[in-house]
Every structure is written in structure tokens, then in C-alpha cells.
Structure 1
Amino acid sequence: MSIAYLAQPEQQQKLEWLDGGMFSVLLDTAATDGQLTVGRFSVSKGEAPPYHMHTNEDEVFMLIKGEALLWSDDQEMELSEGGIVFLPRNVPHGYRITSDTADLLMICTPGGIEGMFRHAGRDMATPRPEGFEISKDRMAEAADMYGQIIVGPPR
């Protein structure tokens, strides 16, 4: 049984993510009894994850601020500020930020994907190791551990 959970911004885990961006873990499986993961990306122009698909969870993300190109299966779409997209599991997808900065809200159900971000990213509350980077190998390892399949390079 889930109980109400509140985490103020200063209590939310912040992870260094791709291209110097930040991923904040807003709600994780511990907070939602495994039902969902909610995260927020703060990223810059050009940020793009590898083209991938989720085998364990469905994903929704909303572009709170900014603009992006989105690929889902064979389709290329423009996502503008306030736009929202549903990406079912087992459908390859990816995006590329086209505005100077972007703020994205991500919701995945069931929860668990935050483990991938924690494994590949870096907790910003800890000192940054010299030369830290999210390498392709580290990303592939984290993806494999959490049911993500990297289909190809970023688009």
C-alpha cells in the first residue's frame, strides 16, 4: 500500500546527466511502491539520448520549456513548449533539444527506470570525480541493467 509522499526541491536527488544536463529524481519506486518514476530534465541545446526503447515501462514526457525534435518508430515530430507525448514500451524513440535550454518532465510506469539514471549519472551532492563522463559503455551497461535497449546513436 502506498502512502502520501512529499519531497521539496532540496530533498530531490539531482544527477549529472548527458551533455552536462541535470536529471532530478522527483519520485522513485521507493516513494510510489513501484508504481511509477517521475523525473525532470534540465538540459541544453543538442542534448539527445541514444535512440532506444523501454522493455519494462511506458513513458510520458512533457516539454515544460523549450523545443525538441522527437522520433518515435519511423515518425519525426516537432515537440513545442507545453507539448506532451506518450511512448509505449517496446517502441523505439529518441529526441534532440533544438532550443537553447529545455525543461522536460518524465513519467514512467511502472517505476524502476531511475536506477538507470543513478547508475550512469552522477549524484551532484557528491564531489565530481576528475574526468567524469557518461561514456557509451557506461550508458550501455546501465541501459542493459534496467531493461532499456539502445537501438542506435542519438539522432
Structure 2
Amino acid sequence: MSMAYIAQPEQQQQLEWLDGGTLAMLLDGKATNGQLMIGRFDVAEGEAPPYHTHTKEDEVFLLIKGTALVWCDDEEYELSEGGVVFLPKQIPHGYRITSKKADLLMINTPAGIEGMFRETGRDKATPRPADFQIKPDPGIADKYGNIIVGPPR
């Protein structure tokens, strides 16, 4: 049974992410009875995950601010501020931020992939080890049904 869930910004988990970016976990499977995960990235130019495929969830992302290149099944697209992308599971994809800063909303359904982000990133509420680096890990990605099929583009 689903219940209403409300969280103010200060209650949302903040993860350190690729290239010094931040991923705010807005909703996860625990809050949505496994139905939905929503995250909001605050990232800089050049941020790009490996080219990958989701095996368990569909993904939507909305570029609130900034610009990006998006690859979907080897086709390249330019995404401008306000642009939205729907990526069904099993479709290889990736992106690269091309503006100085970007604000990107990501939605995955069903939930579950947030575990990969939490294992790969670092909760900003915890002390940061001096040698800490965020690197995509194919083993952790595979554990959550996210298959890395190539390097970032």
C-alpha cells in the first residue's frame, strides 16, 4: 500500500557524484513502494556517465537548466534547456553536459537503481575520505541491472 510522502530539500539525501557533481535523492523505492525513483543532478560541463543500458527500469530525464549531448541507441541529439528524453529499458544511452552547469531531473520506474547511486556515490552528510573518488563500477552497476556497454562519450 502506497502512502503520501513529503520531504523538504534539507531532508533529501545529497550524494557526491561524478566530477564533483551532486545527486539529490528526491524519491526512492522506500518512499514509493518500489514504483519510482527521482533524482536531481547539479553537475558541471563534461559530466558524463558511461554508455549504458538499463535492464529493469525505464528512464526519463528533463534538462531543467543547461545543455547536453544525448546518445540513444548510437544516435546523437542536442538537448537544450527544458528538453526531455524518454529511454525505455534495454536501449543503450548516455549523455555529456555541454554547458558550464546543468540541472537535470532523472526519473526511473520502477525504483531500485538508487542503490547503484548510493553504492557508487558518497552521502555528503558523512566525512569525505582524503583519497575518495567516484568511479563507475561495472560490478555495482550490474548488481542493479545497469549494464555498462562503453566508455563515456
TM-score, normalization by structure 2? 0.98
Match of 1:24 in 2: 24
Q: Which runs of 5+ in 2 are unaligned?
A: none
Secondary structure of 2:59 counterpart: strand
Secondary structure of 1:143 counterpart: helix
Q: What displacement does 1:130 show?
A: 1.1
> How many Å separate the matches in 1 of 2:148 and 2:49?
9
Alignment of 1:120-135 (within 5 A): 120-135=120-135
Which residue identity lines up with residue 17 of structure 1 in the other structure? W
Q: Which runs of 5+ in 1 are unaligned?
A: none
Which residue identity lines up with residue 152 of structure 1 in the other structure? G
Aligned structure 1 segments of 4 or more residues deviating by more than 2 angstroms: none
Q: What displacement does 1:116 show?
A: 0.3
Match of 1:90 in 2: 90
Q: What displacement does 1:151 show?
A: 0.4
Which residue identity lines up with residue 114 of structure 1 in the other structure? E
Match of 1:107 in 2: 107
Match of 2:147 in 1: 149
Would you say the 8 A contact 2:15–2:23 is kept in 1? yes
TM-score, normalization by structure 1? 0.97
Q: What displacement does 1:145 show?
A: 1.2
Which residue identity lines up with residue 68 of structure 2 in the other structure? A
Which residue identity lines up with residue 140 of structure 2 in the other structure? A
Q: What displacement does 1:134 show?
A: 1.6
Match of 1:10 in 2: 10
Size of the aligned set, in residue pairs, is: 153
Match of 1:39 in 2: 39
Root-mean-square deviation (CA, aligned residues, Å) is 0.7
**Deviation sequence 1:74-113 (CA, Å, 0-9, x none):** 2100000000000000000000000000000000000011
> How many Å separate the matches in 2 of 1:135 and 1:36?
25
Q: What displacement does 1:135 show?
A: 2.6
Which residue identity lines up with residue 116 of structure 1 in the other structure? M
Match of 1:81 in 2: 81
